[in-house]
Amino acid sequence: MNLGQTMITMGMFVLLVMSVISANRMLVQNTETGLQTEALTESATIANDLFQEIQSQKFDAHVDTSRTNQAESEFSEPRDGANEWGPSNAERTLAGSMPDDNGSGEYRAILAYDDVDDYNGYTRVINVDSANGIRIGGFLVTVRVFYVAISNSDVAVDYQTNFKRIEVGVEHAQYLPKVLYSSLMSY
């Protein structure tokens, strides 16, 4: 082989290596995009499951289940825009430390909390749970609960109403910035 053929062979080899590297980079980016999309889909599932869990509880600790026409003033006071809502000391002890993460999918809050505003300030870590369709572990879930007026259900009010807004934030350190989901619950 003469020098010209060697140079052409080297040039072709460099082009081949660059093509392989480019193809590999594209595969990695496609995989990452796929994981980000899957994380977003799973975050919606996680939020929906938590909404169902929270909304299965009583509207308020002071709800009289034998009545259907309770006055708003009979509900728990929002105390500083609901910043102090959350579980009672007994419920907090039963729920244990936060974030709620026992690794089995059976979260302590399910047994410890008995009304919607107990979940205010609640955090949970979601691990891989293939039985429930969660293939990516490590989601951090946060909850905020507050009273709202029906005329503007995005803004917390400092008085009792028949409406509570539940905001569930879901994030993943690697694949998903915090996404906020919300639901409105009425008495």
For every residue of 88-143, DSSP letters joined together read -HHHHHHH-SSSB--SSS--HHHHH--BGGGGTT-EEEE--BGGGTB-S--EEEEE
pLDDT band for position 177 (50/70/90)?
very high
Q: Which residue has the higher pLDDT, 12 or 124?
A: 124
Q: Assess whether pLDDT exceeds 60 at residue 81.
A: no
CA distances from 8 to 12, 16, 21, 52, 156 (A): 6, 12, 20, 66, 71
pTM: 0.79
Segment of 24-38, 46-60, 93-107, 128-142 carrying the highest mean pLDDT: 46-60
| In the chain, domain spans | 12-186
pLDDT band for position 104 (50/70/90)?
low
